Amino acid sequence: MMPDLALPYRYSRRYRGDTWLLALAAILIVFGLVVMTSASVEIASRTYGDAFYHFKRQVAFLCIGVVAATAVAATPMRLWYRSSVLLLLLTYLMLILVLIPGIGTEVNGSRRWFRLGFMSMQASEMAKLMVLVFVAWFLSRYHDLVRSSWKGFVYPALFLAPVAVLLLLEPDFGALVVLMTAVLGMLFLAGVKLWQFLGAGALLAMGGFLLIRSSEYRMQRLASFLQALKDPFSEDVVFGSGYQLAQALIAFGRGEWFGVGLGNSIQKMYFLPEAHTDFVLSIIAEELGMVTVLGLLLLFAAFVWRAIIIARRNEVEGRLFAAYLGYGIAFVFIGQVLINAAVNTGLLPTKGLTLPFLSYGGSSLIMCLVMLGVLLRIDIEHHGMQAPRNAGGVV
With respect to residue 11, please indicate whether it lies within any of the assigned structural domains: no
DSSP 272: S
Selection from 19-33, 112-126, 214-228 with the highest mean pLDDT: 19-33
3-state class (DSSP) for residue 110: strand
Q: Is the pLDDT of residue 100 over 90?
A: no
pTM of the full structure: 0.87
pLDDT tens digits for 24-33?
999 999 999 9
The secondary structure element, H or E, covering residue 72 is helix 53-73
Q: Is the pLDDT of residue 319 over 60?
A: yes
Q: Which of 377, 328, 373, 336 is CA-nearest to residue 356?
A: 336
What distance lies between CA 14 and its chain's CA centroid? 30
Burial 131-149 (b: 16+ CB within 10 A, else e): bbbbbbbbbbbbbeebeee
Residue-number span of the structural domain to which 206 is assigned: 19-384
Which amino acid, 234?
S
With respect to residue 9, please indicate whether it lies within any of the assigned structural domains: no
3-state class (DSSP) for residue 116: strand
For residues 314 and 382, the answer to whether their CB atoms sit within 8 Å is: yes
Q: Which of 139, 77, 78, 75 is CA-nearest to residue 324?
A: 139
pLDDT tens digits for 346-362?
787 777 788 999 999 88
CB count in 10 Å sphere of residue 203: 11
Residue 121 — very low, low, confident or very high, per pLDDT cuts 50/70/90?
Answer: confident
Q: Which of 39, 32, 51 is CA-nearest to residue 271?
A: 39
The secondary structure element, H or E, covering residue 231 is none
Instruction: Supply the DSSP string of 218-255, one letter for each residue.
Output: HHHHHHHHHHHHH-TTSHHHHTSTTHHHHHHHHHHHHH
Instruction: Average the pLDDT over 217-224 and give the result.
Output: 63
Quote the pLDDT of residue 122: 87
Instruction: Average the pLDDT over 304-326 and give the result.
Output: 94
Could you give the CA distance from residue 311 to residue 107 in angstroms, rounded to a whole number? Answer: 37
3-state class (DSSP) for residue 114: strand
Give the CB-side neighbour count of residue 196, counting CA atoms within 13 A: 21
3-state class (DSSP) for residue 115: strand
For residues 122 and 363, the answer to whether their CB atoms sit within 8 Å is: yes
Q: Is the pLDDT of residue 3 over 70?
A: no
pLDDT tens digits for 383-393?
777 655 544 43
For residues 277 and 359, the answer to whether their CB atoms sit within 8 Å is: yes
Quote the pLDDT of residue 12: 47
The secondary structure element, H or E, covering residue 349 is none
pLDDT tens digits for 43-70?
888 888 888 999 999 999 999 999 999 9
For residues 378 and 314, the answer to whether their CB atoms sit within 8 Å is: yes
- The torsion angles phi and psi of 260, rounded to 5 degrees, stand at -95, 0
How high is the mean pLDDT of the chain?
83
Total domains, the chain:
1
Could you give the CA distance from residue 186 to residue 39 in angstroms, rounded to a whole number? Answer: 35
Quote the pLDDT of residue 8: 46
Q: Is the pLDDT of residue 1 over 60?
A: no
Quote the pLDDT of residue 118: 74
Residue 136 — very low, low, confident or very high, per pLDDT cuts 50/70/90?
Answer: very high
User: What percent of the chain has a predicted confidence (pLDDT) above 70?
Assistant: 82
Dihedral sign computed on CA atoms, order 349, 355, 360, 361: positive
Q: Is the pLDDT of residue 395 over 50?
A: no
With respect to residue 211, please indicate whether it lies within any of the assigned structural domains: yes
Residue 23 — very low, low, confident or very high, per pLDDT cuts 50/70/90?
Answer: very high
Lowest-confidence region among 78-82, 151-155, 323-327: 151-155
DSSP 354: P
| Higher pLDDT among residues 308 and 346, named by residue | 308
Q: Which of 139, 170, 167 is CA-nearest to residue 155?
A: 139
Burial of 361 (0-12, 13-18, 19+ CB in 10 A): buried
